[in-house]
Amino acid sequence: MLEEYKEHHRNVWPEMLDALRRNGWRNYSLFAREDGLLFGYFEADEDFAAALEGMSGEEANARWQEFMAQYFEIPPGAKPDEMMVELEEVFHTE
C-alpha cells in the first residue's frame, strides 16, 4: 500500500496543509523505505509537544488521521500521529 500512501501525500488536502502551518509545523518531510518504514521530520515554531497539541484540536487533522490509519500498523484505536516520538538531535552540520 506504499504507492497509495505516497499518492495521498502528493495530494494532501489544502485544509490539512493550512492546519500544519497554523500550528507551527515547518520544513516537514516524510521519507519511506521500500519495506514501508517511514521517518518524518519537522521543525516546530514552539516545540514538539505544542505542535502536536495544536494539531490534536484540528478537525482536518482528525479526518486525515482517520483516512490514513489504514496505512499504519498501530494499536487498535490509536491514530498515526499519536505514535510520533521526539528524537534528540546528536549532530548537525550547520
Q: Where are the domains of the chain?
A: 2-83
Question: pTM, whole model, 2 decimals?
Answer: 0.86
Sign, CA dihedral 74-72-81-59, equals negative
Let me know if 8 is exposed, middle or buried by CB neighbors in 10 A (0-12, 13-18, 19+): middle
Active site positions, annotated: 9
Region for residue 36 given its phi and psi (left: phi exceeds 0; alpha: psi -120 to 50; beta: otherwise): left
15, pLDDT greater than 90? yes
Distance between CA atoms of residues 81 and 93, nearest Å: 28
The domain 2-83 having CATH identifier 3.30.70: the answer here is: yes
53, pLDDT greater than 80? yes
The pLDDT assigned to 84 comes to 84
Cβ–Cβ under 8 Å, residues 20 and 64: no
